[in-house]
Structure 1
Amino acid sequence: MHRRTFLTAGIATLATAGHALAQMKMDDMNAMPGMDHSAHGMPAKPAKPAVSLTLKEGEALRELPRLASQASDAGLFQAKLTAAPTTVRFAEGVETQVLAYNGMAPGPLIEAFEGDRIEIDFTNDIPGEDSTIHWHGMPVPADQDGNPMDPVASGATRGYAFDLPAGSAASYWFHPHPHGKTAEQVYRGLAGIFLVKPKADPVPAAYGDTVLVFTDLRLGADGAISENSMVDLMNGRVGDHVLVNGQKNPVLDVPLRAKRRFRLYNATNARFLKLSFGAAAMTVIGTDGGLLEAPFAVDDVLLAPAERLELVVSFERPGTVQLQTLAYERGWMGPGKPNDAGLALLTVNVSDTPGEPMPPLPEKLGTLAALGTPVVNRRFVFTEKMGMSAGGMEMGFFINDVAFDMNRVDVTVKAGDVELWEVINRADMDHPFHVHGTQFQVVEHERDGKVTPPAYRAWKDTINVARGETVRLLLKQDLPGQRMYHCHILEHEQLGMMGIVDVTV
C-alpha cells in the first residue's frame, strides 16, 4: 500500500477487513512530534522539544564477559541466566534503569562447541511481566525455543536444554519473546550472544574473534529510557544513540597490517545499518548460519534488524579508521525520520608499527550443501493498514492479510520436506523476515521486474525484504513442533506481523 493511501485510509475500510488492529489513544497521537492532526478534526498539540543526553565516547572497546559453565564435564555447558532490572550510567552523573541478563546489557556471551550439551536455568525477575529466552537461529527443539506460547512468569524459573549438532557453528544470539512484550524488553536491554564454535576453525586464530553488538538507545533528560511513541509503532523503534557492546563509539587499537575477524550483530528493534570501514578492505566470511563456502570482498554491508555477519577487515594503512553508517532508504511513515548517514560506531587506531605477519585467509572456508528440489511452494505477503476511529488511530501489520493469533496455526509443514517460500513485501517499508527453528538459503530477489541471484550462497535465518520486493528462499524444518515466522521489526511483530508454522512428522 502506498504511503499516502496508508496514512489516510478510512476506518470504514478497515472495519470491513475483519482485522484486529492496535489502537492508540488521542493523547498519544497528539504527542507525535510534528504531526498535524487538523485534517482529522483534532486540535494540534505543540510538539515537545526533543532532549538527548550526551553519552560518554572514546572508551576502549570492551569484550563482552563470558558466561562461565558450572559443569566440570567436557561437552556439557551448564549455567544460570536471570533477567532483572538494574541501573547503568550511559551519561555522566545520570543513572538509567535497564533490563539485563545477569546484570549486563548486552548480556553475557555464551561460548560453546558443536556437539556440546547445553543446560541453562532461566529466572525471570522482571516485575509483573512474562518473559522467555528465544535462542535466535539455533537448531533447538520447539519446546526449548522460547516461543511466546511458552512464557516464563514473573518470579519463575525454567530450564532450557538442547544439544548442538555437528555443522551448527555460527553467530547466534538470544533475546526475550513474550507475547506483547518482546519489543519493550529488547529495547530496555535484553539481548545476549551465543557463539557456537567448530572443532576446527579454518579462519586463522591470529585474526582474533571480536564481537560487535549493535543496540540503540533513547533517553529522556532524567536518564530514563523513553517509551514507544506512535511513530515507533508505525516504523519500529529507532533510538537516538547507536551503541557497540553497550558503548558509544568505542576505540580499538591494532597494529599496522593487522587482519581482524569481526562478528557483527544487529540487536536493535528496527534500525537498518548500512556499514563501511572506509578505506580498510572488508571481506564477508559468514552470515547468520555460519561460514560461507569462500570469502567475498565487499565495499559495504547492510545489516537489517536481527541479521549477523562475519567480516575480516584488513588495516593496511596507519592512522584512524572508523566503522560508519551509510545512507539507506528503508521507508518511513510520519515525522521523525532519522538521518543515519555518517554515524561513527567504532574508531580503530592503526599504529605505525607492523605487528606479527598475518597468515592469508583460506580460499575455501566450508561446504554448503544445496537443499534440493522443493516439494511445496508457499507465499507470504506483507501488508499494513491504518485508519481513524472514535478511540484513536488504529494500525495493523499483516502476513497473508491476517494478524497474529496465538491460538491459530497458519502453516503446517512436514519435517524433512524442502519448501520454496516466496516472501512478498507489498507494504510501504522494508521488513526483515525471520523463521524460527531452521536456517534457509535465499534463491533469488525480484524487484521492479528484475530477478537477481544472491551474491553468494549462505545459511540465513533472517533476510531483509525491501519495499516492493519478492524474496524466494528454500528451507527445511527438521524438528517437529510449533515455530514462529515474523517480521523482526519487533513493534511490527507485536502489531500482528507474525504467524505459527506447525512442523509435523
Structure 2
Amino acid sequence: MLKNGLSGESQKPLPIPALLGDQDPSPNKAEFFLTAQQSTKEFIEGKMTPTYGYNGDFLGPVIRVKRGNDVTVHVENKLQEQTTVHWHGLEVDGEFDGGPHTAINEGDIWSPNFKIDQPAATLWFHPHLLHETGEQVYKGLAGLFYIEDDVSEKLPLPNEYGVNDIPLIIQDRKFTSDGEMNYDLGMHDVMMGLQGTAILVNGAINPFLEVPKGKVRLRILNGSNARVYNFHLSTQDDFWQIASDGGLLEKPVQLNNVVLGAAERAEIIVDFSEYDQGDTLFLNEENNNLLEFRINGEENNFDIPNQLTDIERISPDSATNTRKFVFQGMGLMVNINGKQMDIDRIDEKLLKNTTEIWEVSNDSGMGMMGMDGGGMAHPFHAHGVQFQILDRNGQEPPENERGWKDTFLVYPNETVRAIATFDHEGIFMYHCHILEHEDAGMMGQFQVN
C-alpha cells in the first residue's frame, strides 16, 4: 500500500498556484505569458530536486478566462529540449491545440490565439511532445486553465480563489535517496504506467489547508501519469460533485467518494460547518492522507443550488457515424485498433460540424498484474472536443458522468459509448492518458475538415 509522506517531513501549508495576470486591458481580450523552464525545488527537507515548471520551479500558474474572450498565450521554451503545450479540454482548432505537431524549439516562442466558446470548466495544460510527454509532465510541467461564464458567475457557489475555491493538482512521484524524481522506467512502469511512492498536492507532500467553517469548493485534477484515485474524506462524510471535466453538472450529485483516472477532473463542495474551530480531517485516497483540513475561519452560508446549469443532450439519432476504438496489447506493444502511433498517418477522417458516436472498448489484458485480475483501466482522451457519455456496457452512466467529459475511464472488458459534435478543424490526437502508454504508441490521429 502506498504510504504518503516521507519520514521526518514536517507539514507545510498547501501551496496555492498564482493566478496568471492578463496583460491585455481590453474587456473581451486576454493575453498571457508562459515560460517553460528548468529549476530546482525542495520537496524533501534539505534536498534540492531538479524540476521543470511554468513561470516557476514546479507546475504553473492558473490561467483564468471568460467565455467569449479572444485569448493569446505566448509560450516561451527555455528548456534544453523541445516541448509543446496542449490545452487539455479546450475546444479549439488543431493548429492551436498544442499536440505533437506544434513542437516549440529551445529558445522559441509559440503564440496561439483562440476564442473561448464553451461553458465554464476546470481544464488544464501540459506538454504533448511525441514520446516525451510522460517525462516532461513528471518533471513538473502542468497547470490549470479555468473558464468562467455568465452561468457560473451568477451561481451562489464558493468562488473566492485560494480561500473557499481551492485548486488541487494531485500527482504521485518516486524520489531517490538524493531527493531526485526518478523517471527510469522499469518493466512494471512500462506495463502499468509509472506510479510513485509519495503523493504531491500542488507540489507539496502531506500539506495542510486552513478552511472556513462552511462550504469549500475543491477543483481536483488527477495530474498523475498513470494512477487511478478513489478520493474520499477521512470521516466518510458525503460531499457534492458539481462539475466534471467539461463543466458544471446539471444538478449537484451527493457522493462519499469519487474515482478519477489520469487527467480527469471533478469539482466538489465539502461542508465543514458541522465541525468546530480547531478540528481536523483529511482528503484521503484509499488509506493515504493526502491533505489535512484544519477548521479555522468564519462560517459561510452558501446554499448549493438544486439546479446548476442546463445541458442540451445530444441525440444519438443525430449521429452520422459510429467509430470503434479498442485498447489492446501490453507493455511496449500497447495499441488502439491494432495500430501504434505514426505521426505521418491519419487514422480517422471526420467532417466538421458532424455528430458521431465513439465506442471505446478495453481488450488489453494484463493478467493478475492489473485490476480485477483481468486487466487494467485505460483513460481515453480525445483532443479538441467534449463528449457526453451515452452508456457503459449498455447501462446508463452514473449521475456524475452525465455532464461534459473529455477523458473517461474504460475498465477491463468494458465498452463505453460517447457522443460528440466535432466543431473544430485540424489534426487532433486520441489516446490513453496513461502517459507511458501514450508515449509507447497507444495513440492515434483524427482529422476534421
Give me the TM-score of the superposition, normalised by structure 1: 0.81
Partner Cα separation in structure 1 for residue 330 and residue 248 of structure 2? 39
1:323-472 matches, cutoff 5 A: 323-326=283-286, 342-350=287-295, 355-372=298-315, 373=317, 374-385=319-330, 395-427=332-364, 428-446=375-393, 451-456=395-400, 457-472=402-417
Secondary structure, aligned partner of 2:136: helix
Question: CA deviation digits over 1:186-221, x for unaligned, max 9?
Answer: 001100111111233414247731111112221111
Partner Cα separation in structure 2 for residue 103 and residue 317 of structure 1? 36
- Report what 1:265 is aligned to: 221
Question: CA deviation digits over 1:320-369, x for unaligned, max 9?
Answer: 2110012xxxxxxxxxxxxxxx1111111235xx8344131110000111
Alpha carbons 2:361, 2:416 under 8 Å: kept: yes
Supply the AA of the counterpart residue of 2:254.
Answer: A
Partner Cα separation in structure 1 for residue 77 and residue 98 of structure 2? 13
Partner Cα separation in structure 1 for residue 211 and residue 52 of structure 2? 33
- Report what 2:19 is aligned to: 66
Secondary structure, aligned partner of 1:460: coil
Alpha carbons 2:383, 2:428 under 8 Å: kept: yes
Q: Do residues 211 (structure 1) and 167 (structure 2) align?
A: yes
Partner Cα separation in structure 2 for residue 164 and residue 236 of structure 1? 33
Aligned length: 422
- Report what 2:39 is aligned to: 86
Relative to structure 1, is the Cα distance of residues 324 and 371 closer, same or farther in structure 2, using a 3 angstrom cutoff? Answer: same
> How much has 1:55 moved relative to structure 2?
7.2
RMSD (CA atoms): 1.7
Q: Which runs of 5+ in 1 are unaligned?
A: 1-51, 327-341, 387-394
Partner Cα separation in structure 1 for residue 70 and residue 7 of structure 2? 44
- Report what 1:140 is aligned to: 92
> How much has 1:53 moved relative to structure 2?
5.8
Alpha carbons 1:443, 1:454 under 8 Å: kept: no
- Report what 2:267 is aligned to: 310
> How much has 1:125 moved relative to structure 2?
1.5
1:246-265 matches, cutoff 5 A: 246-256=203-213, 258-265=214-221
Alpha carbons 1:139, 1:168 under 8 Å: kept: no
Partner Cα separation in structure 2 for residue 140 and residue 244 of structure 1? 29
Supply the AA of the counterpart residue of 1:358.
Answer: N
Question: CA deviation digits over 1:275-329, x for unaligned, max 9?
Answer: 1013332101000000010001001000110000000111223322110012xxx
> How much has 1:425 moved relative to structure 2?
0.1
Partner Cα separation in structure 2 for residue 55 and residue 309 of structure 1? 32
> How much has 1:385 moved relative to structure 2?
4.2
Greater shift, 473-482 or 53-62, is seen at 53-62
Alpha carbons 2:35, 2:78 under 8 Å: kept: yes
Partner Cα separation in structure 1 for residue 126 and residue 137 of structure 2? 7
> How much has 1:248 moved relative to structure 2?
1.3
Q: Do residues 240 (structure 1) and 197 (structure 2) align?
A: yes
> How much has 1:73 moved relative to structure 2?
1.8
Q: Which runs of 5+ in 2 are unaligned?
A: 365-374
Supply the AA of the counterpart residue of 2:23.
Answer: Q
Partner Cα separation in structure 2 for residue 247 and residue 125 of structure 1? 24
Secondary structure, aligned partner of 2:155: coil
Q: Tell me which structure has the larger Cα radius of gyration.
A: 1
Partner Cα separation in structure 1 for residue 281 and residue 288 of structure 2? 13
Supply the AA of the counterpart residue of 1:198.
Answer: D
Supply the AA of the counterpart residue of 2:344.
Answer: N
Relative to structure 1, is the Cα distance of residues 227 and 469 closer, same or farther in structure 2, using a 3 angstrom cutoff? Answer: same
Alpha carbons 2:379, 2:433 under 8 Å: kept: yes
Question: CA deviation digits over 1:437-493, x for unaligned, max 9?
Answer: 0100011111xxx73433242100000001111111111110111110000000000
1:72-111 matches, cutoff 5 A: 72-111=25-64
Identity of aligned residues (%): 36
Supply the AA of the counterpart residue of 1:425.
Answer: N
Partner Cα separation in structure 1 for residue 67 and residue 135 of structure 2? 32
